[in-house]
Each structure stands twice: as C-alpha cells, then as structure tokens.
Amino acid sequence: MHSTFLTAMTTHADSRAQRIAERAAAVAFITVLTATSAQISVPLPFTPVPLTFQAMVVLVGAAALGARLGMISQLLYLALGIAGLPVFAASASLPPGALRLLGPTGGYLMAYPLAAFVAGWLAERGFDRRYLTAVLAMVCGLAIVFAGGVLWLGFVAQASRGFSAALAAGFYPFVVEDLVKLLIAAGVMPGLWRLTGISGRSPSRTSAQR
C-alpha cells in the first residue's frame, strides 16, 4: 500500500481534528470541481449525451483522495444533484434533479462513484506515481464510466433502440476525445508528486489508525 496524495499532505497535521477537517475539505473540493466541470458541456445534435470534462475530474480527484474518499466525493455530488441543486450539466432536453439519473445520461453519473473507487484503489497501490501506470488506472476508471453509460442507454433509457444504437450514441462519439483528455490528465498526479517532493512511503500502522 502507498499513501495517497491527500494522505501524504495531511499526515503531519497538528491534530486528528485538523487532519479530518483537511480531508473533508478536500472531498468537498473535488465534489465542487465535479459540479463545476459539468457546466462546461457541449451538446451534440446526434446524441443526448453532452461533451463534458467530468470524467477526468472524477478520476484525477479519486487518484488524489483514494478509493473511499474518492467514492464519497462522487456520492456527495450525486446527492446534491438529487436534492435539486444545479450541479448536473445544464441541458434543455435532459431532466433536472433526481430525474436526471433516470434519463439517458444517468448511467454515466451513477458509474462515477465506482469509477472513483477503482481509480483511487489503484492510486493507493502506487499507480498515480508514474505516467504510464496513471494512464492505466484512469483507463480502468473511464471504462467503468463508459460501461455504466452505454449499458444504461442500451437497456434502460433507450432500450427499444438496441445496444448498437447505445454504442453509437454514448461511446463512439466520445471515446477518442476522452482518451486524448485522459492522456493529458494522467500527467497531473505524477507531476504533483514530483513537484511537491512528498515521500511516497506508506504511513505507519499507528498513523493510519488515527
């Protein structure tokens, strides 16, 4: 096991309360960043799924937070959207609030917590320290997002159109662009580790239990 970037940054906090507060603030920051990135969306005329930067924020954020906190950040994001706050991508055609999860993009959104958990789990095993392994970790997370989105489109939201139509609407138009964004985003965490010079060693058992 390796320290996540957040763990390494907060290990030397003056008190347990301060460490908890710092980690809670980091989770909230990733949640807000996910909501903010959703507002940078480009609707496409041939599919109900818009172009956004959310998936990259989800995966990089999870790499920084780790599996559990990364997943919590995305569960919090979904909870805010279900509560009716304008955190989902602005759209004239997609339903607002909780109904967004039942719409054509619901599968992508509901896949975010699992994708974050997997990307964070791999980061806890050191995948975020080097560029190539960071790419691999983010590819695993992105695959979960696409799987959730396309399966939802194919079997729930647009079941009458079939799975091939779901791929045409929810995978083919986005995969190349998302892979390009992934190749750029994968450099964030290795760059932060090198820039800060923080030790990548695992925290001691005593520190981990505090």
d(CA 57, CA 70): 11
Is pLDDT at 35 greater than 60 in this prediction? yes
User: Quick check: pTM over 0.85?
Assistant: yes
Quick one: which H or E segment has residue 47?
strand 47-51
pLDDT of residue 208: 40
Q: Scanning the structure block, which residue is given the tokens 């974050």? A: 116
pLDDT of residue 207: 41
The DSSP letter of residue 4 is -
Show the tokens assigned to 88.
Answer: 């989902």
141-170: per-residue pLDDT in tens?
999 999 999 999 988 866 667 888 899 999
CATH class assigned to 5-209: mainly alpha
- The region of weakest confidence among 64-73, 76-85, 93-102, 184-193 is 93-102
Please compute the mean of the pLDDT values over residues 109-126 and round it to a whole number. 98
Is pLDDT at 48 greater than 80 in this prediction? yes
Residue type, 118: V
Residue with more model confidence, 205 or 40:
40
pLDDT of residue 203: 45
pLDDT of residue 155: 87
Show the tokens assigned to 45.
Answer: 């005329």
- For residue 108, the tally of other CB atoms under 10 A from its CB is 26
d(CA 208, CA 4): 12
Cα–Cα distances in angstroms (integers) from residue 123 to residues 49, 90, 98, 107, in the given order: 29, 31, 31, 24
Beta strands in 63-123 (DSSP E): none
